[in-house]
Structure 1
């Protein structure tokens, strides 16, 4: 195989944080390192020189294309590889094998790591022949002049993968990228309002959570971009903005039209599933996610990593968990973890579904070790993160097993959920708390019947004086009556109740249950939801039935009572309560629950009646149109 020489060409400024990893990944794959610096005042240049790079200074003039062209003008080798300092080359890539067919340029796959943990994949030309007339244009989001027909270029999809961290929130914040890019893009759009420039301006607004502004630019860009390679992602972002802005009907209209035009672009089905899920149209959401799995991952266009695999399975698991089908949720979590064991939401879904099925902690550990064996530090790190987030008593087991040190706040939470209450109290007595920890501290205070830690929580809890006094009495186990409570107070009481179930503190829970039984209806409804979610359908039902006569006109109350009947397979009773809930308010999710009940009863006449009603009342429901 003929050896082709390669020049790595980069433009950099203040990249000491990333540059070494970048150059380390590529040093044995290229013959020349060209580093063009635009004004670094950190260790960037010394790092470049350590790798033997040829360094050049270029005075920055707000034009990425000019800087990029200056860098490739310095290259002496057969081919040019373009990278940014916050990228690195996958260790499995063989550039010589890629260049074996000697094409003029190659599409390279780039995985953009995001703060959410979900990768965004797209393709770009990053590897091309030197000295054949290729050059960059565009002050920002610069691209090569491959459309110049006089060049008669050949191309291929190269088996090359680059990783990029520049889209992470902390990286954007560090470098002030949004302000810089927005200024350049606004100037570029003013100079040349092309579809591509408008699309990039929309992306910039969206990355800064300015969704209304982004939507406006996407709409302008679409009419100019219908035949462009980026149109799929333009439509995806447009639909996502509509979703985020609450314009769901329009979002569904656009996503369905997009699916007609691009029936194999998995991301559209995934987004449709998300929109339907947020509307509690679970049947349509479920069908959309299964379609994602049927189609699979997108191979060439820009895409969310996992939409055709682990993301779709995890989304299905969330639907099943919401429905109370813990077994199916567990199965979906396993499928997601098989495909990506480091996808933390799937590991959390796995843990949540196990906990809800009342499996003992030791059995959960055995199960966990089979699906997520700890083979290296990365495995352990991900497992510790999830166990910390879900507040599992298993965290202590792994801390002891691997002799790990964690912060005192993590240790304090760990002791609390390992039922080492005194040890937890001693830690929290001497350290400050963060905003996300205050409910745990109130829980600990309730269990230990002490208000010594409550002062530390006051800055995070907006309760009035009366509610603080009630909370103090509650902590000391006194008989109290809760009248109409604030939303924050209800949130705290329900948090305590759920964690008492989790900890198995029956006496404390029964006291709280008696307090809530004589309280505001909002508390009863929320506690009943918690009981139902955690497998105590009968207890939830008893709590609701005790005050049914006073609340028979409350739609949420009646529907929840129906849910408790359904969970206990009291199907005719469930059907009766769902009918009553629908009389109170025509609400799509209730119709869907009624349909599931009729399915279990195998009532074909009833099923047809409900389907016809859904068709008449809820035109956004797609599943009734196709069945």
Structure 2
């Protein structure tokens, strides 16, 4: 029989848990919730939604907690969610078909809501979350599934809304540094540490950790593009432009089909030109070139990390570029392209041009 358990670890999630469980309960046969020390109504909410609740003494080790939770499942398959996540899309027919095929690990699309330039934006990444029975996790934080099974993308989309919680960043940094003390050459841990520092606006610390990760991580890793892009964003904020030139030169070929890499490259050239317009004026055409590449890649349906880098965000930046040089017809065309995606700043620019 094809059956799926939802397997979760939670603590003090009364504000999120009901939304999460309501979004997923029709897709699973069993709900396992392991509580690591809640003092609010988390456990009561879980029980009301049909969950079997277990208590677990927290030991600063996410893998240990997840592995304990997995032992409580009675199903062939286990779906892993956090309380601040909810199901956006689940193609049941296709999911069931994939689960009936050869044993594999299911990667699902996680969409993360975040704020950048005072705008709400979304990133997306595919993470192993649908696991056959017998899988285990490794790593005290940002734990990963240990398995040689093939990993297939499943038609499941999950919204994650919890990245704005800075209290978790402080906790995560402490655990990540503990991990590094025992494995200082772990590029993945350096990468996750850099992301946490960047979230807290500790840019110098973020740069140091991104640099370590960049030197250690294999370019074939699934998170490598995100590593490079966020490293460049950090260097731009620090105005370390010549370090960016070095990375762009090294990554122009490996990441040439990434909308996100080309987008941040265009942003870099813009900041570099504005830092000394008279001295750096020859780089102006590279701004246009980078965003045109983004649009072309988007039309080829190359996957974005931040949604819009291959479409409305790149089109908007092209509109601004052409408007700056008084090429109003071109500016209008790209603002219109951006506005088709309901991007509000593009609509406003169009109104102002009229």
Change (3 A) 1:299 1:187: farther
Return the TM-score normalized by structure 2. Answer: 0.90
The CA distance in 1 between the partners of 2:25 and 2:295, in whole Å, is 38
Q: Determine whether 1:248 maps to 2:241.
A: yes
Change (3 A) 1:297 1:106: farther
Change (3 A) 1:301 1:331: closer
The CA distance in 1 between the partners of 2:88 and 2:140, in whole Å, is 29
The equivalent of 2:278 in structure 1 is none
Matches within 5 A, 1:197-346: 197-227=189-219, 228-278=221-271, 279-280=273-274, 281-296=283-298, 303-338=305-340, 340-341=341-342, 343=343
Work out which of the two has the higher radius of gyration on C-alpha atoms and give 1 or 2: 1
CA deviations on 1:17-75 (whole Å, 9 max, x unpaired) are 11111111111000000011111122211211111100011111110000010111100
More helix by share: 1
The CA distance in 1 between the partners of 2:83 and 2:353, in whole Å, is 45
Change (3 A) 1:109 1:214: same
Moved more, 251-260 or 61-70: 251-260
Matches within 5 A, 1:509-524: none
The equivalent of 1:140 in structure 2 is 141
Change (3 A) 1:14 1:297: farther
The equivalent of 2:279 in structure 1 is none
Structure number with the bigger relative contact order (C-alpha 8 A, sep ≥ 6) is: 2
Matches within 5 A, 1:337-376: 337-338=339-340, 340-341=341-342, 343=343, 347-357=344-354
Change (3 A) 1:109 1:330: same
Change (3 A) 1:230 1:275: same
Q: Determine whether 1:58 maps to 2:51.
A: no
Change (3 A) 1:299 1:197: farther
Q: Determine whether 1:120 maps to 2:113.
A: no
Change (3 A) 1:6 1:178: same
Change (3 A) 1:239 1:298: farther
The CA distance in 1 between the partners of 2:296 and 2:269, in whole Å, is 18
The equivalent of 1:187 in structure 2 is 178
The CA distance in 1 between the partners of 2:322 and 2:153, in whole Å, is 39
The equivalent of 1:441 in structure 2 is none
Tell whether the 8 Å contact from 1:7 to 1:81 is kept in structure 2 after alignment.
yes
The CA distance in 2 between the partners of 1:315 and 1:289, in whole Å, is 7
More strand by share: 2
The CA distance in 1 between the partners of 2:123 and 2:253, in whole Å, is 23
Report how far residue 264 of structure 1 moved.
1.2
The CA distance in 1 between the partners of 2:290 and 2:169, in whole Å, is 34
Aligned with residue 15 of structure 2, among 7, 11, 17: 17
The unaligned stretches of length 5 or more in structure 2 are 275-282
Tell whether the 8 Å contact from 2:319 to 2:331 is kept in structure 1 after alignment.
yes
Tell whether the 8 Å contact from 1:110 to 1:163 is kept in structure 2 after alignment.
yes
Matches within 5 A, 1:579-590: none
Report how far residue 302 of structure 1 moved.
7.3
Report how far residue 333 of structure 1 moved.
2.2
The equivalent of 1:372 in structure 2 is none
Aligned with residue 7 of structure 1, among 5, 9, 12: 5
The unaligned stretches of length 5 or more in structure 1 are 148-152, 358-627
The CA distance in 2 between the partners of 1:235 and 1:297, in whole Å, is 23
Report how far residue 356 of structure 1 moved.
3.7
Return the TM-score normalized by structure 1. Answer: 0.52
Report how far residue 348 of structure 1 moved.
2.5
Report how far residue 321 of structure 1 moved.
2.8
Tell whether the 8 Å contact from 1:282 to 1:319 is kept in structure 2 after alignment.
no
The equivalent of 2:277 in structure 1 is none
